[in-house]
Amino acid sequence: KPGEQKHSKEPSSLQCMHLAVVACGDRLEETLIMLKSAVLFSNRRLCFHIFAEDSLKPEFEKKLKQWPSSYTKKFEYNIYPITFSVGNAQEWKKLFKPCAAQRLFLPVILKDVDSLLYVDTDVLFLRPIDDIWHILKEFNSTQLAAMAPEHEIPKIGWYSRFARHPYYGTTGVNSGVMLMNLTRIRNTQFKNSMIPSGLTWEEMLYPLYQKYKNYITWGDQDLLNIIFYFNPECLYVFPCQWNYRPDHCMYGSNCKGAEEEGVSILHGNRGVYHDDKQPTFKALYEVIRDFPFEDNLFQSLYYPLQSKFLDTVHTLCGRIPQVFLKQIEKTMKKVYENRVIVYLGANHRY
């Protein structure tokens, strides 16, 4: 594709877990920390699809090449320009945050990719991507995407109180973490509010935007909610621990899955990694950012995290540190056990 930069050979989809992100403006560092968290904990090989403004491409190249080979061998990446296949590109670019609408076009652009996990730049993985990738196997015959609810409690949810357009379920869904079977999306005729017959994904996007553009607040996320309102059978809803946001703890703890299992994917929306409103979220971001790619995850990542968390116990989210630490501790124990088994196995042969 024009402007695309390829690195290493294209593996088969069976060998690779595909992860997509869209980075514009000042989101370079956030994106790199997200990718770092993905590489630190995942088991299978990763294929990164990075959609970025032209000015950010050289920086992505430079920074990723600086990672040690023990980590760079676990992934490959493609960098793509920001493009919109239908409608007015400038309109799409201005929809909500810069370039965010690019995610709507992933099924159209990545024609050779069967399944994909899309995440916002402000996401951190606290366990292997392998675990959310397995959810694809749980899709029934009509489901083609998975997202988490926008809120757990309708009476304080945004959509249930303020939305002026159709939305999925009782609280809407959040598009910051979106698992997609792109093949199914490309092959489906979607029910809609514009014509009696179905429309393909690409046919539907621009007319849908034109119809609802005066009523949407959250841009592309609102369009996805409208699509799945008319096609609820197409959506798999995964629990809140896969898209854990400040809303889940700042009004009291309201994500039962995270209380039981720990946070699997942290979503620091509203800029909480960069201000002092949610110190618990900021602590996790800074510890992963500062992790020096050493082998000892406990010493260089987990213990600094515990220490930082002690300074957040006065906050609502900081009162439940086990929610944030449970999965990351479990993941690191598995990494450690695997290395011990490999080491012992290697020694046993001699």
Res 343: pLDDT: 56
Which region among 12-16, 38-42, 235-239 has the lowest average model confidence (pLDDT)? 12-16
Q: Is residue 346's pLDDT more than 70?
A: no
**291 closest CA partner among 42, 35, 19:** 35
Query: Which band of pLDDT confidence, cut at 50, 70 and 90, is reported for residue 74?
Result: very high
Res 168: pLDDT: 84
Q: Where are the domains of the chain?
A: 17-238, 246-345
With pLDDT > 70 as the criterion, what percentage of the chain qualifies?
88
Res 333: pLDDT: 85
Q: How many helices (H) and strands (E) would you count in the chain?
A: 15, 9
Res 72: pLDDT: 94
C-alpha 183 chain-centroid distance: 19
Contacts of 104 (CB under 8 A, 6+ apart): 205, 220, 223, 224
Give the Cα separation of 12 and 228 in Å (integer): 30
Res 100: pLDDT: 76
Mean per-residue pLDDT of the chain:
88
What CATH number does the domain located at 17-238 have?
3.90.550.10
Res 3: pLDDT: 46
Tell me: the pLDDT tens digits for 91-101? 766 665 668 78
| The token pair that represents 140 in the structure block | 């029934």
Tell me: the pLDDT tens digits for 174-206? 999 999 999 999 999 999 988 888 999 999 998
Q: Is residue 9's pLDDT more than 90?
A: no
Q: What is the DSSP letter of 122?
A: T
Q: Please, which contacts does 193-199 make with residues 24 or more away whose CB atoms are closer than 8 Å?
A: 193/166, 193/226, 193/230
Tell me: the pLDDT tens digits for 273-288? 999 999 999 999 999 9
Res 200: pLDDT: 95
Q: Is residue 169's pLDDT more than 70?
A: yes
Across 139-152, average pLDDT: 95
With pLDDT > 90 as the criterion, what percentage of the chain qualifies?
66
Helical packing angle, 279-290 and 321-348, nearest 10°: 20
C-alpha 123 chain-centroid distance: 6
Query: Which band of pLDDT confidence, cut at 50, 70 and 90, is reported for residue 213?
Result: confident
Q: Is residue 14's pLDDT more than 80?
A: no
Which region among 4-13, 19-28, 148-157, 158-167 has the lowest average model confidence (pLDDT)? 4-13
